Structure 1
Amino acid sequence: MLTGIEVHPDLGFGITADSYYHSAEHLMTNHFEHYDLTQQVEMPQNFLFRHSIELYLKSLIIIFHKELNIDYGNVAFDSDDPEAFVDGKWRKLYSSHFIDKLYDYWLNNLLLPNIQKLTDLAPKGDWQEYKKITTLFRIISKYDQDSSYFRYPITKNSALDNEKNTMQKFKAKDNIEDLINEMQEKNGDKKGNLTMLVFDNQDNIIEAFHKADNVLPEVRDALYEVASYFHGIHIMTRVTLCGGM
C-alpha cells in the first residue's frame, strides 16, 4: 500500500481514510494548551472519524465491485467513476455522502449476498455482519448523516445543533447568591465547572451558560468504534482479497 494512489484498487480512498483516522486518534490523546477551555473542542476529532468511515465504505464498495466483477448498473465494475445504488437509483459515489445509505448498500448488496464468493476468494477474511456496528450507524446517522454536523456550528439539523455546543444555556436563579448556593448543592464534592453569566444594568442575571462536562459521548464513542472497525476491515480486505495491494 506504499505505491502511488493511481495503482490502488480502490482509487486511493482507503489510504486517505487511514490519514483521517490516524489524525483523529492523535487529537484524542494529544490535547493542545487550554484544551479544557476551548469550545467545540471535540468537533474536529468527531468529523475526522466520521469522514474516515465514509471513505472506508467507498473504498470497500469499489474493491468489492472489482473483485466480484459486479457492474455498477450499466457502468463497468472496473470503472474509475464508481457508483452506489441508493434510494432506488444508481448515484455517483463521489457525490454520495449519506453514511447510513452507503453502509446499507455495502452490507446488503455487496457483503451479505456474496459471503460464499468472498470466502472462496479470500478464505482468511472475516466476511460477516457485526450487529453492533449496524446499531451504531443509527446513532451516528441521527446526528451526522451527510457529514455536516461536526463541520459547521449550524446545520439543517437545527433541532440537534445545540447538543454539540460546549457552553449550554440554562435557566439561572434571579440573584447570584441563590445561584451559587444551587450550584454548590448540585456539584457537592465534584470538581468545579465553568459558568458564564450575563447581567443587565441592574445586575440582574439575564442569561446563563455552563460548560458541559461531556458533549455527545454516545455519538463520540460510536464514531470511534465504527471507524476502528472499518480501519481493521479495510486492512483485512486489502491483505486477503486484494493480495496486499
Structure 2
Amino acid sequence: MNILITPPEMHFDKGLGISAWHFRDAAKVLIDSENNRDLLSPIGYLQRHAIELYLKSLIYILHKKYNICFGDKFSLDNPAILVNDKWRPMSNTHNLNDLYSYFKSIYESIFDNLPSSTEWTLSPNLEKQIKLISGYDPKSTYFRYPQATSENQDQKKSTVQPMDLESALKSAQSGQGKPIKCAVLLDSDDNIVNSFDLTPEVLEDVRSALSEVMEYVNNLHCAFLGELTKWS
C-alpha cells in the first residue's frame, strides 16, 4: 500500500487516485452529518469531482501500464484524451461523458491483456448513470454555483421549492399526502403571497447516480491499483 505512505507525485498515476479518494471521503463525511439535507450541492460537487478524478486516474494507469501513446505530442507528463477526433489536455477536460467514453475505448482495446484473476466486465448501467450526471453537470459547475445552467435546471437543485399550498393541504388531509413543512409569505393584510416546500425531494435520480457511480469507480480503481500497479 505504498500510495498511503508516499507523496502523490511518486504514485503510479501522479496522485489522481489518492485525490479522488480524499474527495470521496469528504463527501461521505457530509452525507453522514446531521444537516446533510441542506448540503446537496457541496455533496454533489464532491461526489462528481471524485468520479472525474477516478476516471482520469484509470485512463492514466492504462496509458502507462500498456504503453498507449497519446496523440498531438501529449505524453504522461502532459496527458490528454481524445474527444471527437481531437486531443484535449486532461487537466482541461471536465465532462464526465467524454472522460468515460475515452476510458471505455482504451479499456476495451486492452481488455484481453487484463489479469484473468479479476472479473473486469463493466456494469451496463454505468454508462447510463454517467450520462445522466453529465447531462446535468457537463462542465463541473452545476453544484458549485447557484446559477450555472438554465433557470429551470438551476431551480431543480434548490432545497426550497415553490409549492401549491392549497393542493398540499388537501392531499395531507386526505391521508394520501406527506406531512407538510413549509414557509408561507403574507402581505400586510395577511393574504398568502407565496408558499415554499422546505423538504422537497430534489434530484433524487442524480443523487442516487452520483452515489452509485462514485462507489463503483472506486471499486474499479482499487482493482486497477491491486492488479495493475501493485498499490503503487
Give the alignment's TM-score, normalised by structure 1: 0.86
Structure 1 residues 180 and 224: alpha-carbon distance in aligned structure 2, compared to 1, 3 A threshold: closer
Once the two structures are superposed, residues 118-163 of structure 1 have per-residue CA deviations (whole angstroms, 9 ceiling, x without a partner) of: x2xx332333221111111122112112211111111124331111
Report the Cα distance in structure 2 between the residues aligned to 1:11 and 1:181, rounded to whole angstroms: 56
| Offset, 1:230 | 0.8
Partner AA of 1:65 in structure 2: H
Report the Cα distance in structure 2 between the residues aligned to 1:156 and 1:162, rounded to whole angstroms: 10
Is residue 2:92 matched to residue 1:105? no
Judge conservation of contact 1:11–1:80 (CA < 8 Å) in 2: no
Aligned residue in 1 for 2:87: 90
Across the aligned residues of Structure 1 and Structure 2, the Cα RMSD in angstroms comes to: 2.1
Judge conservation of contact 1:18–1:52 (CA < 8 Å) in 2: yes
Structure 1 residues 95 and 180: alpha-carbon distance in aligned structure 2, compared to 1, 3 A threshold: closer
| Secondary structure of 2:18's aligned partner | helix
Judge conservation of contact 2:182–2:197 (CA < 8 Å) in 1: yes
Percent of aligned pairs sharing the same letter? 32
Aligned residue in 1 for 2:151: 158
Aligned residue in 2 for 1:80: 77
Report the Cα distance in structure 2 between the residues aligned to 1:213 and 1:66, rounded to whole angstroms: 46
Aligned residue in 2 for 1:15: 18
Q: State the structure with more CA Rg.
A: 1
Partner AA of 2:91 in structure 1: Y
| Offset, 1:190 | 6.6
The number of residues matched between the two structures is 229
Match among 153, 162, 170 for residue 169 of structure 1: 162
Report the Cα distance in structure 2 between the residues aligned to 1:60 and 1:227, rounded to whole angstroms: 13
Return 5+ residue gaps in structure 1 as ranges: 174-178
| Aligned ranges 1:1-245 → 2 under 5 Å | 1-2=3-4, 3-32=6-35, 40-75=38-73, 77=75, 79-108=76-105, 110-117=106-113, 119=114, 122-173=115-166, 181-182=169-170, 184-185=172-173, 188=175, 192-245=179-232
Partner AA of 2:80 in structure 1: E
Judge conservation of contact 2:51–2:214 (CA < 8 Å) in 1: yes
| Offset, 1:183 | 5.7
Once the two structures are superposed, residues 192-244 of structure 1 have per-residue CA deviations (whole angstroms, 9 ceiling, x without a partner) of: 33211112222221211112342211111110000001111111101101122
Judge conservation of contact 1:163–1:215 (CA < 8 Å) in 2: yes
Structure 1 residues 181 and 70: alpha-carbon distance in aligned structure 2, compared to 1, 3 A threshold: closer
| Offset, 1:116 | 0.9
Return 5+ residue gaps in structure 2 as ranges: none
Report the Cα distance in structure 2 between the residues aligned to 1:182 and 1:190, rounded to whole angstroms: 8
